[in-house]
Amino acid sequence: MTDLSVLTPDRLELGEGSRWVGDRVVLVDIPAGRLFSTPVEGPGALTEVARLSEPLAAVAPVEDGRWLAAAGTGFAMIAPEGVRRVAEPVPVTGKAWRMNDAVADPAGRFWAGSMACDQSPKAGALYRLDPDGRVHTVLRDLTIANGPAFTADGRTMFLSDTPLGHVDRFDVEPASGELSGRRPFLRFDPAEGAPDGLTMDADGFLWVALFGGGAVHRYRPDGVLDRRVAVPAKQPTSVCVAGSTLVVTSGRGGLADPGADDGAVFVGRADVQGRPALPVRWTGPETS
């Protein structure tokens, strides 16, 4: 059984996007536009890496030490000298919207979901940003696209649509990034919570953060539940296995009466090995 403890006294409005990068874990507080890091070995204080003037949904490392971000309504490069916009997706809704969870695949492409700010049904999309800077709208009619996660060979992608309680599985053509073969992988009853962030460990098992469910689950490749880990917060948002450390973010936004640990970052022993976040292979423009 895995017991989680609170990492620091910090409480985030909407912690998200935890990723294992080198000797640290990075994560964001979306509405605050803040990027944080903390050491993998003996995690401690959250250190602010960058602060944006717009919502910061998720980042992936770039091979030269920068960060590619899904931020606001587009993509930005975060570097020591500042933040630069690099690409703008085509909106799929006339409502106010923003980018959401994002991750790089084994080919160095950056996949990012989107959502309407009022969470309107079918107002979200999944975008693919190729290394050369071209943006493709690969899925429409999503509500809140969350947690893209890829198998180690890059041939399978998992994607959650949080309000629907769905996690779907897709075939990926490695060379082009084209998706096909969409089929259900997991379906959650609302009483269990809603699938938010996803990650895959070194064994090829899928971890799911259950927003509103106070738990993270680990699933076998055939979709059978392998493990349930209780989280002492109502709204777990992302899950990461860094080395053998389980890291879970949460949010306190939207709660009428947040508890003491809502919005905290949690750590515990995973008893399995994680997979480091993959880098973006960026060859595109530096400004849009």
**Which residues, in sequence order, are CB contacts of 240 under 8 Å at separation 6+?**
18, 19, 20, 25, 27, 199, 246, 247, 248, 274
Question: Do 98 and 146 contact (CB within 8 A), yes or no?
Answer: no
pLDDT tens, position by position, for the chain (288 residues)? 579 999 999 999 999 999 999 999 999 999 999 999 999 876 678 999 999 999 999 999 998 889 999 999 999 999 998 999 999 999 999 999 999 999 999 999 999 999 999 999 999 999 999 999 999 999 999 999 999 999 999 999 999 999 999 999 999 999 999 999 999 999 999 999 999 999 999 999 999 999 999 999 999 999 999 999 999 999 999 999 999 999 999 999 999 999 999 999 999 999 999 999 999 999 987 654
Catalytically active residues are 196
Give the separation between CA 40 and CA 245, rounded to whole angstroms: 8
Q: How many residues does the chain have?
A: 288
130's tokens: 């190729």
Which residue type, as a one-letter code, is found at position 49? V
266's tokens: 């949690």
Distance of CA 229 to the CA centre of its chain: 19
**Which residues, in sequence order, are CB contacts of 174 under 8 Å at separation 6+?**
106, 107, 153, 154, 155
Question: Do 65 and 71 contact (CB within 8 A), yes or no?
Answer: no
Q: Domain 5-269 is of which CATH architecture?
A: 6 Propeller (2.120)
Largest CA distance in the chain: 48
**Which residues, in sequence order, are CB contacts of 277 under 8 Å at separation 6+?**
19, 20, 21, 26, 60, 61, 103, 104
Give the pLDDT confidence score for residue 104 in this predicted structure. 98
Question: Do 73 and 53 contact (CB within 8 A), yes or no?
Answer: no
Q: Pick from 161, 179, 163, 162: which is nearest to 171 by CA?
A: 179
Give the pLDDT confidence score for residue 41 in this predicted structure. 77
Give the pLDDT confidence score for residue 1 in this predicted structure. 56
Give the pLDDT confidence score for residue 65 in this predicted structure. 84
Give the separation between CA 14 and CA 16, rounded to whole angstroms: 6
Which residue type, as a one-letter code, is found at position 281? R
Run of H or E including 98: strand 97-104
Give the separation between CA 16 and CA 35, rounded to whole angstroms: 10
